[in-house]
Structure 1
Amino acid sequence: MKRQLILEDGTIFVGEGFGSEVQTVGEVVFNTGMTGYQEILSDPSYCGQIVTLTYPLVGNYGINRDDFEAITPAIQGFIVKEVCDHPSNFRNQFSLDEFFKTKNIPGLAGIDTRKLTRIIRQYGTLKGALCGMDVNVDEIIAKLKGEILPTNQVEQVSTKSAYPSPGRGHRVVLVDFGMKHGILRELNKRDCDVIVVPYNVTADEILRLSPDGIMLSNGPGDPKDVKEAIEMVNAVLGKVPLFGICLGHQLFALANGADTERLKFGHRGSNHPVKDLATGKVAITSQNHGYTVNEASLLNTKLKVTHIALNDGTVEGLRHLEYPAFTVQYHPEASPGPEDANHLFNEFLQMIETFKKAGEKLCQNV
């Protein structure tokens, strides 16, 4: 069935629809990953967005039970050059078409995704509508121009109540701003006793759980829309070791007096080179974000830059100069993507060990 993507600038792409036939509106973005489409479509950080994949053939290994980053996808739509109707893989359970029908997500195939990507790169992310061929195009364009996209994406994808993921190691409170399952998996792998809490948890509620460490997860949208989280981070700093990823990194910066700004078209892919300024080593990283920390705003804070993106020089890592706290803009848990930066979870646990030993020594000297 013919369906179309209409952009707010009036550009129209006509292709073949798959999945749901529902009409949706969202921010149109692109991801450059060559594999990992299941992790991409189920990443809560894409909440409210229509995701375009630059790799041409998608769906060839189907959908399986193991590769989800969230139980329920939060994307508004999915755009590909060519969708595979008959996937072939020993883990395959559903085709993309079948899966999107069950989740009421529309897909569009057969358009020039390269042209769409060039438009986004030139003009920045645009609002778009995935719809049928029987709509009034002028009305849709006018609606898109006046559309104010939701700012409560974190509230939409965060857990509504706290829950445990038990282990016998260090207790880590994981604040869910739109957490990918890969983060929880990495903590579980290290036998952490994890308690996942909602985005609007207070500092007092976290501290009452007696955590050894706090992790701030990834998530969608503008970090400045999550004001309660900024206040919470500010209140727990110095009391418990902290590690932040992606949105958690941006919230950490805001809590320390720095500023964030919107990127023209964001970083979304699994091949982004990031340089560790301390060692000079470069890691190839998985990324998904539309905002970045403004480096100039760090001048009068107690934060130092630890990592930079080699593609555009933006800030990719921060460390507090006084407190046990560090963050990265990229995804060390990958999913999808390379695991070059997976060691950061070990560094977080080592920071917890060091902090606990310092506390024990202080008690002995009192």
Structure 2
Amino acid sequence: MEAFQWQPAPSPAAAAALVNQTTAEAMLTLQDTPSAQQAVLVKAGGVDLLDLMKEGLVNPRRLVDISRLAELQGIAREGDGSLRIGALTTLAQIAAHPGLRQSHAALAQAAAMAASPQIRNRATLGGNLLQRPRCWYLRSAAHHCLRKGGGHCFAFAGDNRYHAVFANHGCAIVHPSTPATALLALQGRVELLHPQGRRRQVPLEDFFVLPEADMHRENILAAGEILTAVRLPPQSPASRSVYFQVAEREAFDWPLAAVAVVLDLDAAGLCRQASIVLGAAAPAPWRARQAEALLTGATVNEETAMAAGEAALAGAAPLAQNAYKLPMLATLLRRAVLAAAAPQPRPQGS
């Protein structure tokens, strides 16, 4: 790791005004070029950024520390029932929050399954959404891959057992964020702050980008913008959400396959609306639209849940070593749909 300057930011707007590159932009330039040596990057929990610096993949001149900004922390319920989760809220705080565990269970479950307890106590929601993919070719200084401005994706002819089975044309990374899968299913939006104080809200479905739209980055965050919060709409009392994943190890591991399901059910078990997102499956959290359409207007049972699992695989293009993900995703989706539709326990005293 090279020497760098450290600058605490007095406010989110001040941090945005100081930052001149995103991490993705800093990784595009070779480390001995002037532009790479002049990078000023934002640092929150620092879990991902410090890894990249230790590996020599980014070499910033200065880090702007936002980790102590109180206005970027905490979970607040708005007057309309929506939620605002500050970007510096840790995964541990999200996993333990009683309100989230009741109204947005899939998000709390996803946060609880991310990384290890030590990392969850440090990792922030904003940093988790913005982390770079965990592809070993992207994270190898010896491989100048497409995502770093190189000539080709090494995964297609190399070790691709953990790579994408959807939308993997050109670049086969999978999106690394566990909470992102649940947040997209819950119709989340990110709040972005410009240095002049202008704020914009972007649906997560529009925030994340596929390689066909931009080969070099995973989202539309611009240099000089700070991700300040994630906003979640109020959930219907009849809405239920579930997040399931499979990993090689239960602790400190990224999922091999994941699914988040949100169902709005009537009293007879008829699905009025379904939102289904697959994780560890594509370069961005992947909406299973055919599965959503199959469930909407149908009674949820073993047969329709199994059919939804099969429908979710439409368009899959597994690589040489990762076809095992397809039955995993189908089975996880079936189980998540049935879990979301299961009768909920009545509160004590009711």
TM-score, with length taken from structure 2: 0.29
**Structure holding more strand per residue:** 1
